[in-house]
Amino acid sequence: MIRRIALLCPLLFFLIGTRAWASFIEHTPAPKNTIGTYTLIIEGFDWGPAVNKVVLSLEKDVSKADKEQYQVSASRRAKQAGVNLPAASGSRTVLHAYVSDATGKVAKTNKFITLVLAVAPNDPLSSPIQYLRQGGRGANQWIDYSLSIQSTSTDQLWNQEGNRIMPLIDKFDLSGKYTYKKGKTLTYASYEPGSEGGKKPLIIWLHGGGEGGTDPSIPLIANRAANYASPEIQRHFGGAYVLVPQSPTFWMQNAEGSYTRGQVNDVYNQGLMSLIKDYVKKNPKIDKERIYLGGCSNGGYMSLKLILLYPEYFAAGYISALAYNSEFISDEQIKRIKDVPIWFMHSKDDQVTKPDETAVPVYKRLKAANAPNVHFSYFDHVIDITGLFGGEGYHYSGHWSWIYSHANKASLDFDGKPVLMDGRAVSVMEWMAAQSK
Query: Which CATH number do you get for residue 188?
Result: 3.40.50.1820
Let me know if residue 71 belongs to a domain.
Answer: yes
Domain count, the chain: 2
| 383 φ, ψ (degrees, to nearest 5) | -110, 175
Q: For 329-346, how does the pLDDT look when each residue is reduced to its tens digit (9 = 90+)?
A: 999 999 999 999 999 999
- Least confident range from 22-26, 90-94, 115-119, 308-312: namely 22-26
Which distant-in-sequence residues (6+ apart) come within 8 Å of 71 by Cβ?
A: 91, 94, 149, 150, 152
232 and 147 co-located in one domain = no
- Most distant CA pair in the chain, distance: 115
Do residues 404 and 301 share a domain?
yes
pLDDT of 196: 85
Q: Residue 34: which pLDDT band, with cuts at 50, 70 and 90? A: low
Amino acid, single-letter form, for residue 34: T
Residues 208 and 334 in one domain: yes
Nearest C-alpha neighbor of 165 from the set 46, 36, 70, 51: 51
Element (DSSP H or E) covering residue 39: strand 35-45
Whether the per-residue pLDDT at 9 is higher than 70: the answer is no
Average pLDDT, the chain: 92
Same domain? 371 vs 248? yes
pLDDT (tens digit per residue) in 262-281: 999 999 999 999 999 999 99
Same domain, 143 and 179: no
Distance CA 170, CA 172 (A): 5
* Interior/surface letters 172-188, b for 16+ CB within 10 angstroms, e for the rest: bebebebeeeeeeebbb
Contact 286, 199 (CB under 8 A): yes
pTM of this structure: 0.91
Provide the domain limits for residue 341: 169-433
Which tens digit of pLDDT belongs to each residue from 235-245?
999 999 999 99
Q: Is position 350 within any domain? A: yes
pLDDT at 84: 86
| Other beta carbons less than 10 A from residue 257's beta carbon | 10
- Residue 28 confidence (pLDDT) above 60: no
d(CA 318, CA 303): 8
Please state, in angstroms and rounded to a whole number, the distance separating the CA atoms of residues 238 and 221. 23
Does residue 259 share a domain with residue 144?
no
CA distance 428 to 107: 37
Kindly state whether residue 10 falls inside one of the protein's structural domains: no
Note the pLDDT of residue 10. 40
In a domain, 193, yes or no: yes
Confidence check: pLDDT of 11 > 50 = no
Same domain, yes or no: 281 and 315: yes
* Position 6 in a domain: no
- Is the separation of the CB atoms in 350 and 401 below 8 Å? yes
Whether 80 and 162 have beta carbons less than 8 Å apart is answered as no
B/e letters for 365-388, b = 16+ CB within 10 Å, e = fewer, are: bbeeeebebbbbbbbebbbbeeee
**pLDDT score for 308:** 98
Residue 139 phi, psi dihedral angles, 5° rounding = -160, 150
> pLDDT at residue 81 above 90?
no
Write down which residue in 115, 133, 165 finishes a domain: 165
d(CA 143, CA 207): 20
Residue 18 resides in a domain: no
Mean pLDDT for the stretch of residues 421-434: 97
> Poorest-confidence range of 1-15, 33-47, 75-89, 150-164?
1-15
206-224 pLDDT tens trace? 999 999 999 999 999 999 9
Looking from the CA of 267 toward its CB, the CA atoms found within 13 Å total 15
Decide which of 4 and 58 is more confident. Answer: 58
Kindly report, residue by residue over 295-327, the tens digit of the pLDDT. Answer: 999 999 999 999 999 999 999 999 999 999 999
Same domain, 49 and 194: no
Could you say which of 165, 181, 213 is where a domain stops? 165
pLDDT digits (tens, 9 = 90+) for 112-134: 999 999 999 999 999 999 999 87
Q: Kindly list the distances between the CA atom of residue 34 and the CA atoms of 26, 31, 58, 321, in Å, as whole numbers in the listed order.
A: 15, 6, 9, 50
